[in-house]
């Protein structure tokens, strides 16, 4: 019997190519979109699962509130790891990482340095902790000795060749020698260690054994014993505060007690997070690598679900509309003795077959779209062809979708009454109009929701990009690692300043694009209470910094080389003035120190107040910040005049190479870096755009088909109207207006939902747009325009048919 159903299903599919195309294409688009998103989500959820015993590996976090500031840190003090191993029997082992950032390194006999961007110090327990083996070298000893490092496969191939790296010597920052004691495979892209190229041994690194409970710079991982209860262990972490942090603090600030600390509203809370949860659930400072967002996973899951629902709704709508053509067959079958169940199974077989065909097309579409999708999503996903589980799940899901989509049409069609459908007046037997209309409204409501969301995301991105940040980011060139010029760095700066297109130059490591920087604790002169400490960034700059970046001094003055006292001058921003609780003018002359409690306290005098400028993401408020004169020459900041930069750039490069031959000339434009900060939002915007377009396409396919069937159903009416004198336009309007009413209802439903959802998304940004009315108007207009274009084709086509043809059967 099933063979009979499949045979008939196949013949039905072939017999109605237009309907089959609409259904198959609509389903295929929905399926392929959902497939790509599912692969993306699977990848996101798979982060760090590859490590052995990942269930037992946790990172220690700490949340500190002090001096009015809250810090949610992903790093803890250097002694935490050893203390956990000593005091807690639940801990099997610990491993620490200390970020070393980007650095210049070369093999000993090379002349040219190479920039390695992501490097860390790491404890020797690293291999055991994560269950990793070396490709070359002995993991038991590779990180035991000072001045040793391991390279990843890519780094080893770059510097030496894979098999030649072991035992080789490398020169770091032109000064320090390291021996390569191991080569490890590249870390997977779905791992927090991804993109690391060099790991340095912690052995011999002084900061690693300072026993400094007051400084939090080490990403610390623990592996619990199999019998340990993670929740109990996490609760017991808090004892670190009373047992170690408080005594440490009391040594610096005698008289402070734990009770006073807490009573003042401060806290020092330890917690932990499993390594597999870090990627999607941790948003602390600083993360080892850029994390995803569980919010985005939810958003994408909803989009995938929307696409599938849209495609399924399309299928249901087209099938029930198309039921006109199947009514007679249902009547005959029932007359001949078929029962409802047999009819339902027959129709479900057809929908299952269409779904299977759609699935094949969906996989093809996904394969073709994969490179583009990977670029959009910044991923490296591929279809796991060799994985039978994947195919099983895909096939099952596709058939399930077909069955679920086909259930309603199957039940609908099996209800036809033979006497009503067999006499040739099929229209009498066909109902379901209300349900179809509801489904059309639903489809367009989703599409309009997505259009509004897309417009809002892009408006927010535009707002961010155009917002006055309080400093000049256009035409500002940053040259990295200029410290490599050693004592020639000042002369290099002066040489660059001579170039015609160069307006101003400054030496500083501090560039106002979002980056991980820590606050220092400052105290006003005469203030000693810890809770009155000012948590503030301290940026070491030179005398040209304010001018080069076009910062605005609103009170007092800029640094001036004429004043020798400016070596102990400080410029603060408006946020700092607010913390001080005074007017900007009153802040001038105040004395602040970053090293209260030390032997030789150094006070800085406030000489100027700079207008607030954004140095963090626009998701955050502007925090307290200060500028002091100091030598910190990681970067050269070059402000350029308008025009073509290529000549100036090559001149600067030439000067650089003449000053420091063998050093890479590494630069970027500040505007690019700023733009990269919001790559997540841009990516989200692009994803929204694409899936909005897909959802509209699916909805339009459905509307196109419904319009066709509507016209077919009313062919007699059209013929009669034409005979009575109606014009093509009048008939086309009559056929279209009912659909436009549905779109109008969809607009009324979608707009408030979209407004609410996008306002919630925007709450994440401190600096954000207000959603203007024109966004909703534009979305509504687009929806109406698209539906008019879709429906009018069929309406006009029906309207120009010769009435003789349509009335002939009457």
Partner 1 sequence: MIKIKDLDKYYSTEELQTIALNKLSFEVKKGEFVAIMGPSGCGKSTLLNILGLLDDSDGGSFIFNGEEVINYNERKRANIRKHNIGFVFQSFNLIDQLTVFENVELPLIYTGVKKSDRKKKVHEVLEKMQIMHRRNHFPQQLSGGQQQRVAVARAVVNNPKLILADEPTGNLDSSNGNEVMDLLTELNNQGTTIIMVTHSEHDAKFTHRIIRMLDGHKVTENSLV
- Where on the chain is the footprint of partner 1 (CB under 8 A)? 1, 4, 8, 11-12, 15, 328-329, 331-339, 342, 418-419, 422-424
> Rounded to the nearest whole angstrom, what is the least distance from the CB of residue 783 to partner 1 in the complex?
37
146's CB contacts (< 8 A; 6+ apart) are 201, 203, 204, 205
Determine the Cα–Cα distance for residues 458 and 466; give it in Å rounded to an integer: 12
> Rounded to the nearest whole angstrom, what is the least distance from the CB of residue 338 to partner 1 in the complex?
5
> Rounded to the nearest whole angstrom, what is the least distance from the CB of residue 344 to partner 1 in the complex?
15
Determine the Cα–Cα distance for residues 355 and 389; give it in Å rounded to an integer: 19
Tokens 């279809």 appear where?
A: 383
Determine the Cα–Cα distance for residues 155 and 153; give it in Å rounded to an integer: 6
> Rounded to the nearest whole angstrom, what is the least distance from the CB of residue 704 to partner 1 in the complex?
24
Q: Which of 365, 322, 442, 356 is nearest to 695 (CA)?
A: 442
DSSP type of residue 600? S
> Rounded to the nearest whole angstrom, what is the least distance from the CB of residue 25 to partner 1 in the complex?
22
Determine the Cα–Cα distance for residues 608 and 317; give it in Å rounded to an integer: 69
Tell me whether residue 342 or residue 712 sits nearer to partner 1 (CB atom).
342
Tell me whether residue 31 or residue 353 sits nearer to partner 1 (CB atom).
353
> Rounded to the nearest whole angstrom, what is the least distance from the CB of residue 430 to partner 1 in the complex?
17
> Rounded to the nearest whole angstrom, what is the least distance from the CB of residue 332 to partner 1 in the complex?
5
> Rounded to the nearest whole angstrom, what is the least distance from the CB of residue 346 to partner 1 in the complex?
11
Tell me whether residue 364 or residue 419 sits nearer to partner 1 (CB atom).
419
Beta-bridge partners for 628: 540, 570
Pair of tokens at residue 653: 């490069």
Tell me whether residue 8 or residue 784 sits nearer to partner 1 (CB atom).
8
Determine the Cα–Cα distance for residues 314 and 447; give it in Å rounded to an integer: 13
Tell me whether residue 330 or residue 701 sits nearer to partner 1 (CB atom).
330
Continuous H helices in 467-516: 489-498
**Could you tell me if 599 and 592 are in contact, meaning their C-beta atoms sit under 8 angstroms apart?**
no
HEC profile for 58-94?
A: EEEEEEEEECCEEEEECCECCCHHHHHHHHCCCEEEE
Residue 515 phi, psi (nearest 5) = -155, 170
> Rounded to the nearest whole angstrom, what is the least distance from the CB of residue 420 to partner 1 in the complex?
9
Tell me whether residue 12 or residue 548 sits nearer to partner 1 (CB atom).
12
Tell me whether residue 335 or residue 491 sits nearer to partner 1 (CB atom).
335
Tell me whether residue 341 or residue 500 sits nearer to partner 1 (CB atom).
341
**Could you tell me if 29 and 698 are in contact, meaning their C-beta atoms sit under 8 angstroms apart?**
yes
Determine the Cα–Cα distance for residues 425 and 331; give it in Å rounded to an integer: 12
> Rounded to the nearest whole angstrom, what is the least distance from the CB of residue 678 to partner 1 in the complex?
57
**Could you tell me if 742 and 444 are in contact, meaning their C-beta atoms sit under 8 angstroms apart?**
yes
Residue 718 burial (C-beta neighbours within 10 Å; 0-12, 13-18, 19+) = buried
Pair of tokens at residue 287: 């993360």
Tell me whether residue 13 or residue 114 sits nearer to partner 1 (CB atom).
13
> Rounded to the nearest whole angstrom, what is the least distance from the CB of residue 10 to partner 1 in the complex?
9
Tell me whether residue 466 or residue 809 sits nearer to partner 1 (CB atom).
809
DSSP type of residue 244? I
> Rounded to the nearest whole angstrom, what is the least distance from the CB of residue 313 to partner 1 in the complex?
26
Angle between helices 679-713 and 340-377 (to 10 degrees): 150
Tell me whether residue 418 or residue 630 sits nearer to partner 1 (CB atom).
418
> Rounded to the nearest whole angstrom, what is the least distance from the CB of residue 19 to partner 1 in the complex?
14
Determine the Cα–Cα distance for residues 75 and 88; give it in Å rounded to an integer: 19
566's CB contacts (< 8 A; 6+ apart) are 543, 559, 560, 607, 629
Tell me whether residue 226 or residue 337 sits nearer to partner 1 (CB atom).
337
Residue 781 CB coordination number (10 Å): 13
Q: Which of 572, 508, 567 is nearest to 537 (CA)?
A: 572
Tell me whether residue 424 or residue 661 sits nearer to partner 1 (CB atom).
424
Tell me whether residue 264 or residue 427 sits nearer to partner 1 (CB atom).
427
Pair of tokens at residue 489: 């760095």
Sign of CA dihedral 765, 771, 772, 775: positive
Angle between helices 294-321 and 323-336 (to 10 degrees): 60
Continuous H helices in 244-380: 246-252, 258-263, 275-281, 294-321, 323-336, 340-377
Tell me whether residue 341 or residue 389 sits nearer to partner 1 (CB atom).
341
> Rounded to the nearest whole angstrom, what is the least distance from the CB of residue 418 to partner 1 in the complex?
5
Give the max Cα distance, the chain.
Answer: 108
Pair of tokens at residue 520: 């220092």
Tell me whether residue 424 or residue 526 sits nearer to partner 1 (CB atom).
424
> Rounded to the nearest whole angstrom, what is the least distance from the CB of residue 717 to partner 1 in the complex?
20
Determine the Cα–Cα distance for residues 476 and 639; give it in Å rounded to an integer: 5
Angle between helices 773-799 and 715-723 (to 10 degrees): 80
> Rounded to the nearest whole angstrom, what is the least distance from the CB of residue 716 to partner 1 in the complex?
17
Q: Which of 506, 520, 509 is nearest to 602 (CA)?
A: 520
Tell me whether residue 263 or residue 336 sits nearer to partner 1 (CB atom).
336
> Rounded to the nearest whole angstrom, what is the least distance from the CB of residue 421 to partner 1 in the complex?
10
């Amino acid at each position: 019997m099933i063979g009979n159903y499949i045979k008939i299903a196949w013949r039905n599919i072939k017999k109605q190519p237009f309907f089959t195309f609409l259904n198959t294409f609509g389903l295929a688009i929905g399926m392929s979109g959902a497939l790509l998103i599912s692969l993306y989500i699977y990848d996101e959820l798979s982060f760090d699962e590859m490590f052995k015993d990942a269930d037992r590996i946790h990172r220690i976090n700490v949340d500190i509130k002090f001096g009015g500031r809250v810090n949610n840190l992903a790093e803890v003090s250097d002694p935490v790891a050893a203390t956990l191993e000593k005091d807690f029997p639940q801990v099997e082992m610990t491993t620490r990482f200390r970020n070393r950032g980007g650095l210049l390194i070369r093999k000993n006999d090379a002349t040219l340095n190479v920039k390695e961007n992501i490097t860390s110090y790491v404890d020797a327990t690293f291999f055991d902790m994560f269950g990793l083996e070396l490709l070359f070298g002995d993991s038991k000893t590779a990180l035991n000795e000072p001045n040793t490092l391991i390279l990843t496969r890519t780094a080893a191939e770059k510097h030496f060749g894979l098999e030649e790296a072991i035992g080789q010597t490398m020169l770091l920052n032109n000064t320090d020698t390291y021996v390569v004691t191991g080569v490890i495979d590249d870390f997977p892209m779905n791992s927090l260690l991804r993109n690391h190229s060099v790991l340095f041994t912690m052995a011999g690194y002084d900061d690693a054994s300072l026993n400094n409970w007051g400084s939090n710079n080490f990403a610390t991982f623990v592996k619990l014993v199999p019998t340990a209860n993670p929740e109990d262990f996490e609760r017991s972490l808090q004892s670190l505060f009373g047992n170690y942090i408080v005594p440490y603090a009391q040594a610096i600030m005698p008289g402070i007690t734990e009770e006073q600390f807490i009573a003042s509203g401060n806290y020092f809370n330890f917690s932990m997070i499993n390594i597999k949860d870090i990627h999607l659930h941790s948003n602390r400072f600083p993360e080892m690598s850029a994390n995803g967002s569980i919010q985005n996973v939810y958003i994408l899951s909803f989009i995938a679900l929307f696409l599938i629902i849209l495609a399924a709704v399309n299928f249901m709508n087209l099938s029930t509309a198309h039921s006109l053509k199947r009514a007679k067959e249902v009547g005959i079958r029932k007359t001949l003795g078929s029962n409802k169940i047999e009819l339902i199974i027959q129709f479900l077989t057809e929908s299952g077959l269409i779904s299977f065909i759609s699935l094949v097309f969906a996989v093809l579409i996904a394969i073709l779209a994969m490179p583009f999708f990977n670029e959009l999503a910044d991923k490296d996903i591929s279809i796991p062809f060799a994985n039978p589980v994947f195919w099983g799940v895909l096939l099952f899901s596709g058939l399930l979708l077909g069955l679920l989509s086909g259930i309603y049409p199957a039940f609908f069609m099996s209800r036809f009454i033979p006497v009503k459908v067999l006499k040739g007046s099929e229209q009498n037997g066909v109902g379901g109009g209300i349900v179809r209309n509801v489904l059309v409204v639903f489809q367009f409501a989703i599409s309009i929701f997505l259009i509004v969301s897309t417009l809002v995301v892009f408006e927010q991105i535009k707002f961010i990009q155009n917002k006055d940040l309080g400093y000049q980011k256009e035409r500002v060139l940053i040259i990295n690692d200029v410290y490599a010029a050693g004592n020639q760095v000042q002369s290099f700066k002066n040489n660059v300043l001579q170039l015609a297109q160069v307006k101003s130059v400054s030496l500083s490591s501090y560039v106002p694009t979002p980056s991980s920087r820590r606050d220092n604790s400052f105290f006003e002169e005469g203030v000693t209470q810890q809770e009155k400490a000012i948590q503030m960034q301290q940026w070491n700059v030179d005398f040209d910094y304010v001018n080069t970046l076009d910062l605005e001094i609103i009170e007092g003055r800029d640094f001036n080389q004429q004043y020798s006292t400016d070596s102990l001058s400080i410029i603060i921003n408006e946020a700092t003035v607010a913390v001080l609780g005074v007017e900007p003018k009153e802040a001038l002359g105040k004395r602040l120190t970053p090293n209260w409690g030390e032997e030789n306290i150094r006070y800085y005098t406030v000489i100027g107040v700079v207008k607030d400028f954004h140095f963090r993401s626009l998701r955050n408020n502007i925090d307290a910040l200060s500028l002091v004169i100091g030598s910190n020459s990681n970067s050269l900041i070059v402000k350029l005049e308008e025009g073509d930069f290529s000549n100036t750039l090559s001149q600067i490069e030439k000067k650089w190479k003449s000053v420091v031959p063998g050093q890479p000339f590494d630069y970027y434009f500040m505007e690019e870096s700023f733009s990269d900060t919001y790559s997540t939002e841009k990516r989200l915007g692009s994803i929204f755009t694409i899936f909005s377009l897909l959802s509209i396409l699916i909805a339009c396919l459905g509307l196109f088909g419904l319009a066709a069937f509507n016209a077919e159903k009313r062919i007699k009416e059209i013929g009669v109207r034409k005979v009575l004198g109606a014009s093509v336009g009048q008939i086309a309007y009559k056929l279209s207006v009912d659909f436009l009413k549905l779109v109008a209802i969809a607009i009324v439903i979608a707009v408030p939902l979209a407004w609410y959802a996008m306002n919630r998304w925007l709450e994440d940004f401190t600096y954000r747009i207000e959603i203007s009315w024109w966004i909703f108007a534009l979305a509504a207009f687009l929806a109406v325009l698209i539906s008019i274009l879709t429906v009018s084709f069929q309406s006009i086509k029906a309207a120009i048919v010769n009435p003789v043809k349509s009335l002939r059967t009457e």
